[in-house]
Amino acid sequence: MTTTRDQRICPVELAGALDTNLRRWLQNPRKLLAPFIKPGMNILDIGCGPGFFTREMALMTGSEGHVVAADLQEGMLSKVAEKIHDTELNTRITLHVCRQDRIGLVDTFDFILAFYMVHEVPDKTPFLEELYSLLKPGGRLLIVEPRFHVSEKTFARTVEILSRCGFRIVRQGSSCMNRVVLVTHDPYPD
């Protein structure tokens, strides 16, 4: 997961722009994620940034669930820590700093969210292979990419890599703002 500013990683200084009321209205976390999250799940929010989705996922998964907020930038994780400090979510959310070349987790997850971040990964194959190893059989990975950064051709290449890594495509589509693919770690491939 080697990264540089040239690969358009959103800097910590712009974290506030990722967590606004307008964004909450346009990309309501509860509304977007309700079909995928159930109480008690173990969830990975990869490239969590300032935790726009993290907090809501922790609420949705309930007191028996757990969310790992993972990001390459410690400053982004500090923003998440500020939000959950002195709340019951402090015990439901674990902060994890990714390494430059690996996510570096050993746990497995029922659901993984990669929202507006896969385009920032220069070598997608090892990254997506690692996500495959982190997803429980039957688990789901939701990738959402911004149309304004990711062309249809680039997104198609990402979907192709997902298939080569062993994921089964559940659903794929796009809207005026997003390109979306939902995949599963299929325990019974064809």
- Which SS3 state, helix, strand or coil, does residue 176 take? coil
As given in the structure block, the two tokens for residue 61 are 């998964």
Domains of the chain: 40-184 (3.40.50.150)
CB count, 10 Å around CB of 145? Answer: 24
Q: Where are the alpha helices (DSSP H) in the chain?
A: 21-26, 29-33, 54-61, 74-84, 124-134, 152-164
pTM: 0.87
The amino acid that residue 77 corresponds to is L
- Residue ranges in the chain modelled with pLDDT below 50: 1-7
Backbone dihedral angles phi then psi of residue 119, each to the nearest 5 degrees: -65, -15
Q: What pLDDT was estimated at residue 3?
A: 39
Measured distance between the N- and C-terminal CA atoms of the chain, rounded to whole angstroms: 30
Chain segment 81-100, per-residue pLDDT in tens = 998 999 999 999 999 999 88
Q: Helix (H, G, I), strand (E, B), or coil: what is residue 99?
A: coil
pLDDT score of 16: 54
Closest CA to 68 of 25, 20, 34, 111: 111
What pLDDT shows up at residue 166?
93
Predicted pLDDT of residue 12: 58
The C-alpha angle 143, 145, 150, rounded to 5 degrees, equals: 135
Amino acid letter, 58: A
